[in-house]
A and B are shown apart, each in its own frame.
Chain A
Amino acid sequence: MTNVSAELDSRFRAAAAEEGLLDVAYDVVDSPLGELFVGISDRGLCVISYEADPDAQVERLARGFGSRVLRSTRPVDPARRQLDEYFEGKRKRFDLDVDLRLARDFGRTVLEELGRVPFGEVTTYGELAARAGKPRAARAVGTIMNRNPVPIVLPCHRVVGANGSLVGYAGGLERKHQLLRLEGALLA
């Protein structure tokens, strides 16, 4: 059987995105924290995941955003570039549209507040809960952080316990450490 060449394959994937036919375009992006699965919808960045194995991610995206999910490099390039710059220490805030359509109500408010926590600073779960209008919802904020659809860009690594402990991170505490060290928010 004649197989599809890599060139023809990527030509189709680029054309599919260019014609606006995709619900989500995704690619795997290299980073110092390991491979990142990055997805872009028509409204913006919709997923960053440390779980780079595409199959489960692709299924999940198809359920949430529509079945036309396809790996396609070009739509992911701006996010890839900004992530590279961030990890090289050349970028302190991301200039990307974020698609939070799957987050509802309080979850969405919290994620929007999270986006305002600046580079190099930390806040606490309780503080973030208060800023989102529910001062006693620290625990709920923890859950929302754990399910953050776009970690790094929405900086849930900047949220720590009231006593300063790192508490938890969906990508593992080691990664939270690395990110805070990169930002100079931790000395060691």
Chain B
Amino acid sequence: MEPVRIPPFETFYEEHKDPVFAHLRRLLGQGAEDAFQETFLRALRGYPELRNGRHLRAWVFTIATRVAIDETRRRRPMASPWLHELAVEDGLPPHAELGHLTDNLPPKERAAVVLRYGFDLPYDEIAAALGSSEDAARQATSSGVRRLRERSKRS
């Protein structure tokens, strides 16, 4: 397939800022503002290296997810009360403690498991976040869970 031209950053930003912010709100609740700015600053830094405009949504969702995971890790001591708040606000299950239980999984499986069971994201959004197909997102999630089960049997 022909590579798709990279649009001017303004166009890219206007098209994705609201969905990316919504994604970050689901992942982080009230702290999403700083993560939003960090996500698009990282996108700006990487923008000149992009060679294809085809998967920009998946690309920026992956950046946002990484920023959110960094942010969650940074404030892990506060995770519980803050997640409780989020759970009340959005009706999400407060399972993001999954974050550190999954520390030893391969990165893609880890992200898939955390997004699925920590943040209750549907598979299409996980796929967008990982830059992969929905099938691949399902697969990464289930093999991550399998790995966790095996590990807990052993210990």
Give chain A's interface residues, CB within 8 Å of chain B: 1-4, 8-9, 11-12, 15-16, 19, 21-22, 54, 58-59, 61-62, 66-71
Contact = CB atoms under 8 A, between A and B. Distances in A.
Closest 5 CB pairs of A and B: A62-B8, A21-B44, A69-B8, A1-B22, A68-B9
The A contact surface, by secondary structure, is mixed
A67 B36 contact: no
B11 A58 contact: yes
Contacts of A16: 40-41, 44
B6 interface: yes
A58 B17 contact: no
B21 interface: yes
Given A69-B10, A70-B10, A21 B41 contact: yes
B36 A4 contact: yes
B13 interface: yes
A71 B10 contact: yes
Interface residues of B, number: 22
A12 B37 contact: yes
A61 B41 contact: no
Nearest to B9: A68
B33 interface: yes
A61 to B, nearest CB: 7
A176 to B, nearest CB: 31
In terms of DSSP, what is the predominant structure of the interface of chain B? helix
A58 B36 contact: no
B48 A68 contact: yes
Contacts of A59: 8
B40 A12 contact: yes
B10 A11 contact: no
B74 interface: no
A22 B41 CA distance: 10
Contacts of B70: none
Contacts of A2: 18, 21-22, 25
22 contacts: A1-B18, A1-B22, A2-B18, A3-B18, A3-B21, A4-B17, A8-B36, A11-B37, A12-B40, A19-B41, A21-B41, A21-B44, A22-B44, A58-B10, A59-B8, A61-B8, A62-B7, A62-B8, A67-B8, A68-B44, A69-B8, A69-B10
A155 B11 CA distance: 32
Report which residue of B10, B11, B36, B44 has the largest number of chain A beta carbons within 10 angstroms of its beta carbon. B10
A143 B6 CA distance: 31
B154 to A, nearest CB: 42
Contacts of B44: 16, 19, 21-22, 68
A2 B44 CA distance: 22
A105 to B, nearest CB: 28
Interface in B14-40: 17-19, 21-22, 25, 33, 36-37, 40
Nearest to A66: B48
Contact of B7 (A3, A66, A67, A71): A67
Contact of A4 (B9, B21, B41, B45): B21
A22 to B, nearest CB: 8
Contacts of B45: 21
B95 to A, nearest CB: 21
